[in-house]
Chains A and B, each alone.
Chain A
Amino acid sequence: MYKATIAITLRPSILDPEGKTLQHALTNLGYDEVDQVRMGKQAEVWIDAESEAEARRVATETCEELLANPVTENFDVQIESVPREAAKQGTA
């Protein structure tokens, strides 16, 4: 069993008003060193695949077909092998 941790982020050219608002809030909290905030999403997908390469292929396909919007978003897939039992309990 493999667990794919997928980070979905706005492409750099896309305006992110939410990130900008949070950056302002952090500045108000005194974090003057925070220069920029960009918000994104993370998906955790457990995949029953024969190999890491196969799991990566499936995870990438899920992004291309649904999880990410190619017009505005990039995605990054990290794969790790997890024990089957842990996957069932969602603890891995």
Chain B
Amino acid sequence: MPARFGVVVFPGSNCDHDAYHAAHHVFDQETRFIWHEEESIGDVDVVIVPGGFSYGDYLRSGAVARFSPVMQDVVRFAEEGGLVFGICNGFQVLCEAGLLPGTLMRNESLRFVCKDTPLRVENADTPFTNGLTEDQVVTIPISHGEGRYYADEDVLARIEAHDQVLFRYSTADGEVTDDANPNGSARGIAGLVNEAGNVCGLMPHPERCVESLLGGDDGRLIFESLLAHVSTVAA
């Protein structure tokens, strides 16, 4: 059964079409854009909160987006166990909305960083990563100025205890080092899930690498994981 994707569009989103392209054109799934003023996300299996600069990043990245009408329904959907996938700015929005712990701050270097980054898979037993294997290294591009993951030590301890970290920035050999950390994220965290495992935030952009023609296709593994999960649930 095909999965139904919804891609949320805020004023200032700019990776919405990339996400749509990946889900619809590359994976041939039913996909619709959901404008931020819509009060219902409709019948979907996966909501993607895409990258960009929602509401111009006013105040803090993602801070204003979370009050948009559509986000109220995304929160409801998440609380009911629906799959919510926040990429880059979408990750920031989900943190501000309280769906994910912690927050994303200005890169330690103060620079906007746009490059391919190797990521080590930490947990391959989630709807977002079931097609990967633990300790596998995948290469997915980042593109952000505010991607330094931060949470209090006790929150970090809880995240680790519940195996919520999905990806850490690493070397190509899978070593998590300070040099491999492009933004100063706590414990090299690049992506994580909530405690229930149905809400994921990821700073790297898997939707930008789903076709080898464009330099890499490791992002496919995440979309394939989602599709495998949705078809299992539906079966």
Give residues in A with beta carbon < 8 Å to B.
14-15, 17-18, 21, 66-67, 69, 71-72
- Judged by DSSP, the binding face of B is loop
| Docked pose: A18 CA to B109 CA in angstroms | 9
A66 partner, pick from B63, B106, B107, beta carbons under 8 A: B63
A72 partner, pick from B59, B110, B150, beta carbons under 8 A: B150
With both beta carbons as reference points, the residue of chain B lying nearest to A11 in the complex is identified as B152
- Report yes or no: A17 in contact with B106, Cβ–Cβ below 8 A: yes
B106 partner, pick from A18, A67, A69, beta carbons under 8 A: A18
Give residues in B with beta carbon < 8 Å to A.
59-60, 63, 67, 96, 102-103, 105-110, 150-152, 184
- A17-B106, A17-B107, A67-B59 known; 9 other A-B pairs, CB under 8 Å? A14-B150, A15-B105, A15-B108, A17-B108, A17-B110, A17-B184, A18-B110, A69-B103, A72-B105
| Docked pose: A2 CA to B103 CA in angstroms | 32
| Docked pose: A67 CA to B64 CA in angstroms | 10
A77 to chain B, nearest CB (A): 17
B60 neighbours in A (Cβ, 8 Å): 69
A21 neighbours in B (Cβ, 8 Å): 110
A72 touching B103 in the complex, CB below 8 Å, given contacts A14-B150, A66-B63, A67-B59: yes
| Docked pose: A69 CA to B103 CA in angstroms | 9
A18 neighbours in B (Cβ, 8 Å): 106, 110
A14 neighbours in B (Cβ, 8 Å): 105, 150
With both beta carbons as reference points, the residue of chain B lying nearest to A43 in the complex is identified as B59
| Docked pose: A72 CA to B109 CA in angstroms | 18
B225 to chain A, nearest CB (A): 29
- Report yes or no: A71 in contact with B110, Cβ–Cβ below 8 A: no
B107 neighbours in A (Cβ, 8 Å): 17
6 residue pairs A–B, Cβ–Cβ below 8 Å: A15-B108, A17-B109, A17-B184, A66-B67, A69-B63, A71-B150
- Report yes or no: B63 in contact with A71, Cβ–Cβ below 8 A: no
| Docked pose: A21 CA to B108 CA in angstroms | 10
B62 to chain A, nearest CB (A): 10
| Docked pose: A15 CA to B149 CA in angstroms | 12
| Docked pose: A17 CA to B63 CA in angstroms | 21
